[in-house]
A and B are shown apart, each in its own frame.
Chain A
Amino acid sequence: MTRRTTIAIALDGAGWHPAAWRDPSARPTELFSPGYWIDLARTAERAGVDFLTIEDALGLQSSVLGGSDERTDQVRGRLDALLIASFVAPVTSRIGLVPTVTTTHTEPFHVATGLQTLDFASRGRAGWRVQVSAAAHESRHFGRRALPEFDLESERRGTSGLVRELFGEARDAVEVVRRLWDSWEDDAIIRDAATARFLDRDKLHYADFEGSHFSVKGPSITPRSPQGQPLVTVLAHQTVPYELAATSADLVYVTPHDDEQAASILAEVRDAEARVGRTGRPLSVLADLVVVLEATPELAAAALARLDAENGQPATSDALIFTGTPESLVERITAWTDLGYDGVRLRPARLTRDLEQLTDWVLPAFERADAAGTTLRERLGFERPANRYAAKETAA
């Protein structure tokens, strides 16, 4: 069975390498400007990229995981990702737009309506990368909840109670958001002059969610959006997030560093699905790769070395930093899709150099969808889901 490979691209500032802003191809004075984001989105769209993710956080970037630093030689500052996505929505027509939105400290109600509105503005191309915030300093930006200082070791081991709490909250947030997305049935607006009714109130449903972090009544203030349920995605490195993906998401990004890990992580994802009793469509699984691409392996290695030197130390990443030629990346992607991956999410180390390498030399190697007029769900092979409230009534 030939399966089209899903190719997503992850955007962050000047690129995923901390010294990327110094690259000749970078536009470091424009990272907060409208033109920069429109150019990136259109470049990716022209090449047939399936969707973009956009990074975000509730605090400054840092070279210290979970903490803050005082560095001035790296990109600091980000625009709100959901709003960047909303901004490029009317000036694009095919590419999916998947901003990162944090579930810790934020209001699920605003998250829900924000993504519905992105879905309207993009005519059905919205998605969400669910993220938690474990950083104590970020909690102090809100002052409503004290988080313990970040402990890397217990986080790595996955034994931190904090991790469970934050991902439990994320699971609740996704549930609330999904209920709000369904709270208007598709045909709730009737405009019936005879009875003077704009809408049929029987087709509106309360979310009635009660949880330990929040309770949300609903309905949404926003009618059901074109996709019904925008695409929900999760980045996962260990058991707890794999389970969040399995219970709550449509698509998961994972970070294998070699072929062996690629196989074992895929198995872990399927195990997590079985463990939580996931029904319906299995998770779509994408492998995340940071990419440094040049015409020869030597040139690519030299490019990375230069970036590392400028950074003062080698860059590290949760994902494999793939340094090589576009052709070898194509081989790697093909090998992993043969293993069972649905595709990849590629993180350009340098914007715009590595983005252009991808659009010019990597995307053309894969069959692209003619995606005019399709939603993001359709593009990735997901059906438009039935409204959970409407389905209940039919069954009753």
Chain B
Amino acid sequence: MSTTRRQVHLAAHFPGVNNTTIWSDPLHRSQIDFSAFEHFARTAERGRFDYLFLAEGLRLREHKGLIHDLDVVGRPNTLAVLTALAAVTSHIGLVGTLSATFNEPYELARQLATLDHLSNGRAGWNVVTSSDAFHGANFRRGGFLDHADRYTRAAEFVSLAKEFWDSWAPDGVVADRATGRFLAHDAIAPVTHRGAQFDVEGRFNVPRSPQGYPVIVQAGDSGDGRDFASQHAEVIFSRHSVFEEAKQFYTDVKGRLAGRGRTEDSLKILPAVTFALGDTEAEAAERAREDSLAQVGPKTAIAVLEQVWGVDLSDRDADGPLPEFDPDPEASITKGWAPRYPNAVQIAQAWRAQSEAEGLSIRELVIKVAGRQSFVGTPGQVAAEIDRYVQERASDGFVIVGTTSPHGLDEFVDRVIPELQERGVFRTEYEQGASLRRTLALPEPTEFVEEVRRVG
């Protein structure tokens, strides 16, 4: 038996509506025309990525009371675009971010089952929660959820969705013309769920899909988030891309699995990373620098500071020093971003100290703390780093984020993927007919139990 190396798993993140996406780059075309998504998907599939990934935001971001206009804005409906992409791809997984707060389980479960049917088993769901009135203003429920309850709702939402998905027997559709039987006897078990968040009953109206459940992805970082992940998640979309932090996170989260009766392999941890490539290390560094300058222009630099300080700083010079005063911890002039700076005063003091010690202007400081690429180097060097993280169990792979739409992934696919394949740590072909779960080398869900269905 040969000792095969741990295999790398990769996801391709469609360029997001944030400053990582360099819309001023002439290569950036559109981030809303379907042709951009199609090119991106085909490129990722050509690159043999495990899945492509879409983020979601349910209200346009506002900064200082006005719609934020410095970054790319505008995105499609997640489910509709993923299902369209199912028609122009054959193997790659289709993972979308969908809110457990501003959706209802019956409807979302049937939509995900539909995506799974139409893609022959390639659906995945990145479960997110939102709890604020800002997003709630677009929805019937409104921003009703206490921040502390969001994981409670998410956990109950996912459990209920699984009850719906499990309620059709796998061989429920018989379609026997001779006997006139379309459904098997007991094909559909009624679901009754009386919980704190949901009080529903009835019969689900979509047959069991190829995967049974979509692959569940989750990005939570807090204690509650990690708990939720150890129970429900099959992939964690992590923020920890620096080696030591990544390794710590990996060890912590995987360590919680045994207590849930799960194996190490049953959960894949994929940090989000950016990259800058060059023919030489120096060229890559220069490219990285250009990208950072483009991503953190003077106005963006000030805006980042304003997110921490919570006040208007538009009179400041981005090439000048940081504010001398501390932020007001209660102030919040930015709406629509996931909270990135929860300890505003601490962060402000640390940034001020760093800028004084290293002689950094506002713009240079922001670039240093928030605008750096994860992997900078030649394709061989980047491939070597990716391989190292996976072999040393700092991650199971990565979510690759490009800088432009739709071509931001092309170079990675053309130059880095072949290096990984040559190292024997990344697939050269997809397995024919494989589901996303299988592509990710995840075990089949064991929750489907005949007896439970009958009782329910």
The reply to whether chain A is a binding partner of chain B is: yes
The closest CB in chain A to the CB of B79 belongs to A83
Residue pair B104, A196 in contact (C-beta under 8 Å):
no
Q: Is the CB of A219 within 8 A of B83?
A: no
Interface contact B60-A204, CB-CB below 8 Å: yes
Number of A-B pairs, beta carbon distance below 8 Å: 215
A79-B117, A84-B118, A198-B72 given; A204·B203 CB < 8 A: no
Name A46-102 residues within 8 Å CB distance of B: 57-61, 68, 72-80, 82-84, 86-91
A76-B183, A201-B67 are contacts. A120–B74 as well, Cβ < 8 Å? no
Q: Does B140 sit within 8 A of A, measured CB to CB?
A: yes
Looking at B67, B86, B184, the one whose CB has the most chain A CB atoms below 10 A away is: B67
* Interface residues of chain B: helix, strand, loop or mixed (majority): loop
The reply on A297 being an interface residue by CB < 8 A is no
A137 at the interface (CB under 8 A from B): yes
Contact with A along B175-210 (1 / 0, CB 8 A): 101001111110110000000001111110111010
**Chain B positions near chain A (C-beta within 8 angstroms):** 23-24, 32-34, 38, 57-60, 66-67, 69-77, 79-81, 83-84, 86-88, 102-104, 106-107, 110-111, 113-115, 117-120, 137-140, 142, 168, 173, 175, 177, 180-185, 187-188, 198-203, 205-207, 209, 297-300
The reply on A379 being an interface residue by CB < 8 A is no
Residues of chain B within 8 A (CB-CB) of A37 are 118
Some 25 contacts from A to B, beta carbons below 8 A apart, are A59-B205, A60-B205, A83-B79, A83-B83, A86-B84, A87-B86, A90-B84, A107-B139, A110-B103, A113-B77, A120-B32, A121-B34, A123-B34, A143-B200, A144-B104, A191-B24, A193-B24, A196-B299, A204-B67, A214-B140, A215-B142, A221-B59, A221-B60, A221-B75, A222-B77
Give residues of chain A (99-130) contacting chain B, Cβ–Cβ below 8 Å. Answer: 105-107, 109-110, 113-114, 116-118, 120-121, 123
Verify A83–B111 contact, CB threshold 8 A: yes
Give the shortest distance, in Å, between A56 (CB) and chain B (any CB): 9
Segment with Cβ contacts to B, from A28-36, A238-246, A322-330: A28-36
The answer to the question of A138 belonging to the interface, with a C-beta cut-off of 8 Å to chain B, is yes
- Nearest-neighbor residue (CB-CB) of B84 within chain A: A121
Q: Which single residue of chain A is at the shortest CB-CB distance from B24?
A: A193
Interface residues of A in 261-295 (CB under 8 A from B): none
A184 CA to B297 CA, complexed, in Å: 25
A259 at interface by CB-CB < 8 Å: no
Interface residues of A (CB under 8 A from B): 21-22, 28-29, 31-34, 37-38, 57-61, 68, 72-80, 82-84, 86-91, 105-107, 109-110, 113-114, 116-118, 120-121, 123, 137-138, 140-144, 184, 189, 191, 193, 196-201, 204, 213-219, 221-223, 310
Known: A28-B177, A114-B77. A87 touches B67 (CB 8 A): no
Known: A72-B181, A72-B183, A86-B83. 7 other contacts (CB 8 A): A34-B118, A72-B185, A79-B206, A116-B76, A138-B202, A215-B142, A216-B138
A109 to B141, CA, bound (A): 12
Q: What 6 pairs across the A-B complex have the smallest Cβ distances? A: A28-B175, A117-B80, A217-B137, A113-B77, A72-B183, A121-B84
Interface centre among B70, B77, B110 (most CB of A within 10 A): B77
Nearest CB of chain B from residue A211's CB, rounded to whole Å: 10
Which chain A positions have C-beta within 8 A of B73?
A: 189, 198-199
Name the residue among B58, B168, B203 with the largest chain A CB count within 10 angstroms: B203
Q: Closest residue to A176 on the B side, CB-wise?
A: B138
Q: Which residues of chain A are within 8 angstroms of B33 by Cβ–Cβ distance? A: 120
Considering the complex, give the chain A residue whose CB is closest to the CB of B137: A217
**A83 and B138 contact, CB distance less than 8 A:** no
| B residues near A184, Cβ cutoff 8 Å | 74
